[in-house]
Amino acid sequence: MNRSEAAERLLAAAEKLYYARGIHAVGMDEVRAEAGVSLKMLYQLFPSKEHLVAAYLDARDERWRGRLADHVAANGGSARDRLLAVFDWLGLWFAEPGFRGCAFINAFGELGGSAPLVIAVVRRHKESFRDYLVDLARGLPTADPAGVAAQLLLVAEGAMTACAVIPEPRAAQQAHLAATALLDGALARPVGVPEGAGAGRD
């Protein structure tokens, strides 16, 4: 078998098993068996389990962000619509069979103490997602697109974890409502006025 084909099959097997059952719960031999690759080849390609896990997360990061960007590109018009399309897509993702939360948050919970390679991949993923939201928000007619993006990021992250712990389809709707409210609140404020002052208390 080709080396690159073996790597692909190993990463696919790692993703399937690690995401479904957790990293600690899946041994190297099980990944090897699922991929149909010899243990020797596995260790030639990934010198340790931590390397395999980091590579799995890297590949998943690529695919996850690609799928999100595709959906947004296909369904979004204005910057506001594109940001809301992010939350549409989250709803679709949550409803997929086998959804078990954010793989990166799960991996962080599992390996947060040790495994610096993994921590770095998780951080990179979250930063990439935040940067993507900031990019989308730059098209908004608001004074602080980065701030709006940061707040939407919190809503998205919260929806992912809440939906993982308590599988409730309404979480995605609530996230969408929250995102809508945050966006419209930001857009109601004229460009150039700093935020932080209450807008409806008095």
State the Cα–Cα distance between residues 4 and 60, nearest whole angstrom.
17
Q: Check residue 53 for interaction with a copy of itself (CB under 8 A).
A: no
Task: Select the residue interacting with DNA from 34, 50, 110, 195 (CB under 7 A).
Answer: 50
Helix H or strand E segment including 40:
helix 39-45
Identify the CA nearest to 10 among candidates 28, 21, 25. Answer: 28
Quick one: CA dihedral 92, 94, 95, 99, positive or negative? positive
Helix, strand, coil % over all residues of the chain, rounded to 5: 75, 0, 25
- Interaction residues for a copy of itself, span 70-89 (CB under 8 A): 80
For residue 40, the partner it binds in a copy of itself, DNA, none, with Cβ less than 5 to 8 A by kind, is DNA
- Is 37 or 121 the residue whose CB approaches a copy of itself more closely? 121
* Binding residues for a copy of itself (CB under 8 A): 20-22, 24-25, 80, 100-101, 104-114, 122-123, 126-127, 147, 150-151, 153-162, 164-166, 170-171, 174-175, 177-178, 180-182, 184-188, 195-196, 198-201
